[in-house]
Amino acid sequence: MSKEITKNNIESKDVSILLVEDKLEDIQAITAFLEGSKRINAKIQTVDSVKKAKTIMFYDKVDIILIDLNIQGLEYDELFERFDKNKLSLPYIVITDERDEDLGIEAVKKGAQDYLVRSEISERILRRTITYSLERHDILESLYRTTIVDELTGLYNRRGLYTLGNQQIELAKRHNDDIFIFYIDLDGMKEINDTLGHEYGDKALIITSSIMHKSFRTTDILSRLGGDEFVAVAVKAQYEFIPIMIERIKDYIKEENKNLKDYQISMSIGVSKVDLDSEKPLEDAINHADKEMYGIKVKNKKNRK
């Protein structure tokens, strides 16, 4: 969202709003309120179903969603499943009738930023609700990220890995998708720290994270477990994907090593497929990939001697 100052020195926010509503009268009223506001420069898109909303959210930039809980065909549980499964999802506000105000309260408990009673909506209430919802969401998102992201590398930490990884596994179970775990260990980390110092060790970890970003897809979950150990969760992948990824990682390692004089980057990589029928699919797959990685690491040590 960008900001600009109007002629009257009123701060105006550019906000992209997705309105999920199927009643023409309500669409016209809400649109009129938003377009008439001097403090919100609203870009409004309107759809009449959650399915269409998903499409808009996939292709276009959306800052916040307004959704009528009474639109035809809306399944209440589907709404929360879609917008609350990911803690970093878009902020949304629900609209209810007076008789359904309890649904609005329940929606807030389950993740909605706020709720609006249709008969009470005005420009002022709508504007304030949107503004405060965006501010609250930004604060919560920032706090949440500090708990799941590794400060040094910018990758997810152990908590982020298990939180997002288990969410992906639940999705994979529904769609019968394959997921592979890449367990990556940075070889010679102790020697780098002991001979060159921890500053060089930190740089080696940052380079490793950069190699991972270049090698894997944006949809994959990249994490640092701690120390010199990293895990990538490759979603919707096939067996043919594995050697391609490993070769890609090796190519980027060679590329990085051309610019390094004091030490060379080397990685040991173990891979395992997630067994979706396992009692602890993510944990078991990570442990299995760890064992595979250790075998590779032993071979790498022998080759370096």
Domain boundaries, the chain: 3-147, 158-304
Whole-number average pLDDT of the chain: 87
> Comparing 3-147 with 158-304, is the CATH topology the same?
no
The pLDDT > 90 percentage for the chain reads 55
Reported confidence tier of residue 304, pLDDT bands at 50, 70, 90: low
Query: What is the per-residue pLDDT across 70-128, written as a single tens digit (0 to 9) for each?
Result: 887 776 666 666 555 444 468 899 999 888 888 888 888 778 889 999 999 999 999 99
158-304: what fold?
A: Alpha-Beta Plaits (3.30.70)
> Going by C-beta distance under 8 Å and a sequence separation of 6 or more, which residues neighbour residue 216?
182, 222, 232, 234, 245
Q: Which CATH architecture has domain 3-147?
A: 3-Layer(aba) Sandwich (3.40)
Specify the residue for token string 């009449």.
48
CA 227 to chain centre: 23
Q: Does 11 or 133 have the greater pLDDT score?
A: 133
Mean pLDDT of the region 158-187: 91
